[in-house]
Amino acid sequence: MADVEERAQILIEALPYIQQFAGSTIVVKHGGSAMVDHELRRAVARDIVMMHFVGIRPVVVHGGGPRISAMMERLGIQPEFVRGLRVTTEQTMEVAQMVLVGSINKEIVSLINAEGGQAVGLSGKDANLIRTRKMESEADLGYVGEVESIDAGVLETLAASGYIAVVSPVGAGPKGESFNINADHAAAELAVAVGAAKLINLTDVPGILADPDDEESLISTLTLDEAQGLLGGEDIGEGMIPKLESAIRAVEGGVPRAHIIDGRIPHASLIEVFTDRGIGTMISADPSTDG
């Protein structure tokens, strides 16, 4: 087949997926660990712009774990984690906000804009998008917040006007204090609040691994029950715990499918949304249905 015909064929193969998802929201969580190089970040930005121009409403939520840790170390503060969550002192909170809202958010916004999108960066504080309260847990995690409520009005307004929202996982507490929210948890609550068709979590592993030391041990589909069963087990380590919780929360909250995929693969989210190739781990109430 001539080269141009092949290209047309590839484009037309995306048609059923474009028809399925046009008009719906897809929440993409871009993990800090998957932001390994500029070309990869640019590919993610292009995927987002592509989704936007075929009529999908993408909402980006980003993490920034490694960048926050690097900045803390530069300032002589030792990062500490409990069950994948960063212990957040007042000083750490200041650093986290600076890196997430000041640096990473604006970098993603600029990349999307450079690809022809119109991105607007927000933190959870803006227009009360994410009201936050202190997360209570056995260990005192300091300013680690959990989502109290979402007011998705600003996301609706932005999407309706053709803007792409990029959200930093920082929220305000009842007294206006800042809280650091795990980006996976924030993405799930946002996906539920906007009634997303999918939650895609881009990370730095192929998906959920049955054995975290073996990249070949990918679990490709999980039902809610199976996902909950895994959560307590010792094979789900730090980092993957909030992701699994996030996927469970999203699906329980009515998001049909949550995906944890390898953000190191260029255009991973395009492959996920627009082809019949299932990549990574898909969590759904009923995984027998495809897509």
Beta bridge partners of 131: 149, 172
Residue 232 CA from chain centroid, whole number: 22
* 141 binding ligand ATP? (CB under 6 A): no
Give which of 153, 150, 202 is closest to 44, Cα–Cα: 202
* 112 binding ligand ATP? (CB under 6 A): no
CB burial readout 229-265, b (16+ within 10 A) else e: ebeeeeebeebbbbbbbbbbbbbebebbbbbbbbbbb
Say if residues 263 and 44 touch (Cβ distance below 8 Å). Answer: yes
Q: Which does 209 bind (CB under 5 to 8 A by kind): Mg ion, ligand ATP, none?
A: ligand ATP
List 50, 56, 59, 65, residue binding ligand ATP (CB under 6 A)? 65
CB closer to ligand ATP out of 17 and 206 = 206
Work out how close the CB of 169 gets to Mg ion at its nearest, in angstroms, rounded to a whole number: 10
* 183 binding ligand ATP? (CB under 6 A): yes
Compute the distance between CA of residue 90 and CA of residue 96 in angstroms, rounded to an integer.
Answer: 10
Q: Which does 132 bind (CB under 5 to 8 A by kind): ligand ATP, Mg ion, none?
A: none
Q: Which does 64 bind (CB under 5 to 8 A by kind): ligand ATP, Mg ion, none?
A: ligand ATP
Tokens of 20: 């399925």
* 236 binding ligand ATP? (CB under 6 A): yes
* 124 binding ligand ATP? (CB under 6 A): no
Q: Three-state SS for 145?
A: strand
Give which of 109, 284, 129 is closest to 198, Cα–Cα: 284
Work out how close the CB of 10 gets to ligand ATP at its nearest, in angstroms, rounded to a whole number: 29
Q: Which of residues 198-227 bind ligand ATP (CB under 6 A)?
A: 203-205, 208-209, 212
> Taking contact as CB under 5 A, which single stretch among the options 135-143, 234-242, 250-258, 271-279 is the one that binds Mg ion?
234-242
Work out how close the CB of 281 gets to ligand ATP at its nearest, in angstroms, rounded to a whole number: 9
3-state DSSP helix/strand/coil % of the chain, to nearest 5: 45, 25, 35
Work out how close the CB of 80 gets to ligand ATP at its nearest, in angstroms, rounded to a whole number: 14
Compute the distance between CA of residue 62 and CA of residue 75 in angstroms, rounded to an integer.
Answer: 23
Task: Kindly list the residues in this chain that would bind Mg ion in the complex (CB under 5 A).
Answer: 239
Task: Kindly list the residues in this chain that would bind ligand ATP in the complex (CB under 6 A).
Answer: 31-34, 63-65, 183, 203-205, 208-209, 212, 235-237, 239-240
